[in-house]
Amino acid sequence: MSEKVLIANRGEIAIRVARTCRAMGLETVGVFSDADRFSEHVKAMNFSVALGGVSPKDSYLNIDKIIEAARKTGARYVHPGYGFLSERAEFVRVCEKAGLVFIGPSAESMEVMGDKIRARQTVDSLNLSRVPGSPGAVSGAPEALKVAEQIGFPVLLKASAGGGGKGMRRVDGPKDLAAAFEGASREALNAFGDGSMYVEKLILNPHHVEIQVFGDGKGGALHLGERECSIQRRHQKVWEESPSPLMLRFLDLRLKMYETALKITSHIRYAGAGTLEFVADEAGNFYFLEMNTRLQVEHPVTEWVTGVDLVKWQIELAQGVWKMPKKQELEADGGCSRRGSALEVRLYAEDSKRFLPAPGPIGAIQFPSGPFVRVDTAFTGAGEVSVHYDPMIAKISTWGSTRSDAVNRMRVALDETRVEPPKSTTAKVKGSLGTNLEFLKRLSRHEDVISGNTTTNLISDSPELTSDSSSPLTPHEVLAVAVLDLLSKQSQGPSLAAGESVGPAATHRKVWSATAKREGVGL
């Protein structure tokens, strides 16, 4: 009888993990909430268990329900994916107590590096470089102000238990700190149940670079190169790539960052896939930010350039059969052989002017295909981006023998992608779907992206990227569209439904309807 792996997640990452499990001859157990009963990840599993509930806390964050699902189905292993319970030390311990094998690092590693304060203290104990700031959580706004004045403004107030930009505020001067502290702490308390904050120097115009590592749990570790993740909005990544254009210009910097990442990974006896995040500047300085003790959303980028299936490695380590590759030197081309360049973008259901979620029903969807294109998604046709979970629709990644090849293939892939709302007007009651597809197309053609000169300020400094408003059409625009509709009806040309286009320019044209919103039409 095949061993079973329970995948404690949903959407594209659950499908991606299940694919590797099948290739390894393992059976999969999926879990789903009431909102996900018809989702694609349920169909991708050998067995599925209903968790009930709709909100994350009643379903994918409910540890007791996850453990009971594993018990009912006879699962031996639990893979957490990313998000939800993937970095909860408590979940690891409950799995172990229930006789389950958690596919990931130990609870101790999570506690040391998952807590941002303890992670900073660990890095300090190793005499490694980190972003200047408070050594631990501050007692309140007065202490935060004292630290900020010592290290100099601007600073970032950051939640100790935070992530994804929640509980984070930029402060440019003393008069703004108290209000920012109160707001960030309140947001962190609501999001993570912990309102504690620390202060960090804001590195202006930096590059965000992360190192993928893999540890054997005994002090052995190797790296699989870096990823540049500088293109972000609202402190969340939009575009990731490997290798980093910055690191190719500073090979000494690259080697120092590899060495730092491996020192930390070995010191905590880390087991499995993890990521060390850094900020770096054009002068060749770099600073530790944090460690993510799980598989990253952007792991396909590393898989493209190394040929390594990171999920397979995770499972083999949990089975006790994984062996450290012989090649783990700190040479400039990586701890594992790497070739070419890879990129990934995140296709979201969102208002791409304000970068706010815009979930809703999907009427039709089309993704690119080809030997150098990979699409990780939970949508294959009509469906719905739920209001209850992260609004990511898909991750699209490309590979090329050169970075230029990979960028060109990404442009083609995005041009071949279509996401359309249902044509029926009754679907509007569920919300109007919006996507960031047009934004991603413009991003792939941006001069700085093409040249590889990307920093975390790229989007905020490039208003042309978000100039295509995602607001409803204005009255004047509605009138103009109505006139065009009338003229088109009087012509002999073919009638087009909203969002459809004819001829080779289909990927660049939009056809509007008077009732349509920008974010949902012609994508």
Q: How many helices (H) and strands (E) does the chain have?
A: 16, 22
CB 59 within 8 A of CB 33: yes
B/e letters for 84-95, b = 16+ CB within 10 Å, e = fewer, are bbbbbbebbbbb
Most distant CA pair in the chain: distance in Å? 76
Rounded CA separation 294/271 (Å):
10
Residue 241 backbone dihedrals phi, psi, to 5 degrees: -155, 160
Task: Report the catalytic residues.
Answer: 294
Rounded CA separation 55/62 (Å):
10
Rounded CA separation 194/185 (Å):
8
What residues have CB less than 8 Å from 359, skipping those under 6 apart? 349, 384, 385, 386, 387, 391, 431, 433
What residues have CB less than 8 Å from 422, skipping those under 6 apart? 361, 362, 363, 382
DSSP 3-state of 94 = helix
How far is residue 194 CA from its own chain's centroid? 23
Integer angstrom CA distances of residue 16 from 10, 19, 216, 257, 383: 10, 5, 23, 29, 19
Number of neighbours of residue 258 by Cβ within 10 angstroms: 24
